[in-house]
Amino acid sequence: MKAKMTVNKAFIISKIDPRIYGSFLEHMGRAVYTGIYEPGHKTADKNGFREDVKALVKELNVPIIRYPGGNFLSGYNWEDGVGEIGSRPKRLDLAWKTVETNEVGLHEFMNWANEVGSEVNMAVNLGTRGVDAARNIVEYCNHLGGTYWSDMRRKNGAESPFKIKTWCLGNEMDGPWQIGSKTADEYGRIAAEAAKVMKWVDPDIELVVCGSSGIGMSTFASWEATVLEHTYDHVDYLSLHSYYGNQKNDIKNYLAMSVGMDRFIKSVVAICDYIKAKKRSDKTINLSFDEWNIWYHSNEKDSKNEPWQQSPPILEDIYNFEDALLLGCLLITLLKNCDRVKIACLAQLVNVIAPIMTAEGGVAWRQTTFFPFMQAALNGHETVLRHNIDVPVYDCDDFKEVPYVEAVTIHNHEKNEIIVFAVNRCAEETVDFTVELQGFNISNIIEFSEICGYDVKQTNTKESCPVAPKAAQNAKIDGNQLIAKINPLSWNMIRVGL
């Protein structure tokens, strides 16, 4: 099979916002407790946070982490997580039917995020709380001092403000599973008022308003339009959430799901631009795809959990090789839409549908999905180039005319190189893949790595990590063309020097 992708130096999609490689940590399952935080673990630091997990998070190069939820957010009182740890209340978390100890709260998480090199995308509760709590937490986090809440922060050990830039206005507020769920008008009004006063406290913050909980919701599209009618002048981003799974056990259909992600993004962009036109506005609302991942392996197991445990295992999907391939396709799709998707959060980071897993009292390890994300987050920076790709297509149950190769080309000006990410969706054929780089003087192949050759159900475990990138050899430069052979069912990264 042959595929040819043509790009031109002059034709770009957009500069990449590094926050497109963000992640998410919710107070649920073992994401926080025995995930990032485990006092008494042999690698624990003086504050109880696992150094082995910190090291893996740093490997992923995550620039921003959404916190503290998620469904947990809509019943969370942020004040429970500040002050003396021993005096913090234990609460029932109705979202996940567990007990929250509040040992890890705002200060602890901010310090941890700083240590792993990530900003925090803080979320405010618009389920059981509202405008007052929203303005208070911004004052607590971002005001210098001399007021009730900012002085409380200083008393609690943080003399300098946290300076949190990005804030989410609630979570999935159209979902009937959500504590305090609302109609679009109800949510739009409270989100607008919260946004207004939050920016009065700190005019430099950016705000993400909730889109509907997914494209399959009956509220989809009308929810986004109504919410933006209320909030357009006060917010900067609209959120999207979507999860993917191979319930049909059909790899052709599964690997085509990034086509659905692309359609979802373009639909939401159209809604944003409709409201922009309706309001005769010069302002453009961009997107925060602040929950995306693969989630289906753990559903049956989770249905058997006993309620009211502390940090029980929830949503602990063990990912396989085909999951890594789809995750690569989804990453490429986000990058191809980077003109409007400025923030994205892989949900989640540790233990809960996560690239990083831990054993309580034991080791931490990398799931199969860790590696495509890591390679993209480390290397996929600067400018995405527009492309035309000539490649055979296929039909499957849910999608038509799916290209066998999903690919994107990035020009990194600072490093003076071209980066190509590509997935071969075909299980049978190697693809003779040509990338014509018009307007570039290309000199050499810096790196060609691939993840391929595994059974589609192959997983990584705490004992061994077989599914990982390996060096590939079948690539060369011919004039202004990169020519490579990409193996059946493979994730590929090729870096070309200029």
Query: If you write DSSP's letter for every residue of 168-195 in order, what string do you get?
Result: EE-S-TT-TTSTT---HHHHHHHHHHHH
Residue that has been written with the tokens 């485990």 in this structure:
38
**Nearest partner of 196 among 231, 147, 161, judged by Cα:** 231
Local confidence band at 304 (pLDDT 50, 70, 90 cut-offs): confident
pLDDT tens per residue, range 405-454: 999 999 999 999 999 999 999 999 999 999 999 999 999 999 999 999 99
Does the pLDDT of residue 478 top 90, yes or no? Answer: yes
Which H helix or E strand runs over 257?
helix 257-278
C-alpha distance from residue 83 to each of 1, 103, 154, 156, 401 (Å) = 62, 10, 11, 6, 57
Does the pLDDT of residue 299 top 90, yes or no? Answer: no
Cβ proximity of 423 and 405 under 8 Å: yes
Pair of tokens at residue 23: 């992640």
Pair of tokens at residue 403: 């290209």
pLDDT value of residue 300 = 83
C-alpha distance from residue 403 to each of 67, 80, 331 (Å) = 36, 50, 16
C-alpha distance from residue 95 to each of 99, 192, 260, 303 (Å) = 10, 25, 28, 14
C-alpha distance from residue 328 to each of 154, 160, 459 (Å) = 43, 39, 16
Does the pLDDT of residue 302 top 90, yes or no? Answer: no
Bond preceding residue 348 cis, omega within 30 of 0: yes
Pair of tokens at residue 388: 């035309």
Instruction: Give catalytic residue positions.
Output: 172, 291
**Nearest partner of 208 among 331, 110, 121, 113, judged by Cα:** 121
Residue 459 C-beta-side C-alpha neighbours within 13 Å:
11
Cβ proximity of 330 and 262 under 8 Å: no
Q: What is the mean pLDDT of the chain?
A: 97
pLDDT value of residue 444 = 96
CA atoms of 166 and 421, how far apart (whole Å) = 29
pLDDT tens per residue, range 242-267: 999 999 999 999 999 999 999 999 99
3-class DSSP assignment, residue 386: strand
Does the pLDDT of residue 305 top 90, yes or no? Answer: no
Pair of tokens at residue 252: 């052709």
Local confidence band at 7 (pLDDT 50, 70, 90 cut-offs): very high
pLDDT value of residue 301 = 84
Does the pLDDT of residue 489 top 90, yes or no? Answer: yes
- Most distant CA pair in the chain: distance in Å? 68
C-alpha distance from residue 420 to each of 51, 332, 410, 442, 492 (Å) = 33, 10, 6, 13, 8
Burial class (CB in 10 A: 0-12, 13-18, 19+), 274: middle
Say which residues have a Cβ less than 8 Å from residue 348's Cβ, sequence separation at least 6.
23, 24, 25, 26, 31, 293, 315, 354
pLDDT value of residue 303 = 78
What number of other Cβ atoms are within 10 A of residue 136's Cβ? 20
Which pTM does this prediction carry?
0.97
CA atoms of 319 and 243, how far apart (whole Å) = 14
Which H helix or E strand runs over 251?
helix 251-255
pLDDT tens per residue, range 115-170: 999 999 999 999 999 999 999 999 999 999 999 999 999 999 999 999 999 999 99
The arithmetic mean of pLDDT across residues 60-70, rounded, is 97
Q: How many residues does the chain have?
A: 498
CA atoms of 132 and 194, how far apart (whole Å) = 8
Cβ proximity of 352 and 314 under 8 Å: yes
Cβ proximity of 219 and 174 under 8 Å: yes
Say which residues have a Cβ less than 8 Å from residue 475's Cβ, sequence separation at least 6.
445, 448, 482, 483, 484, 485, 494
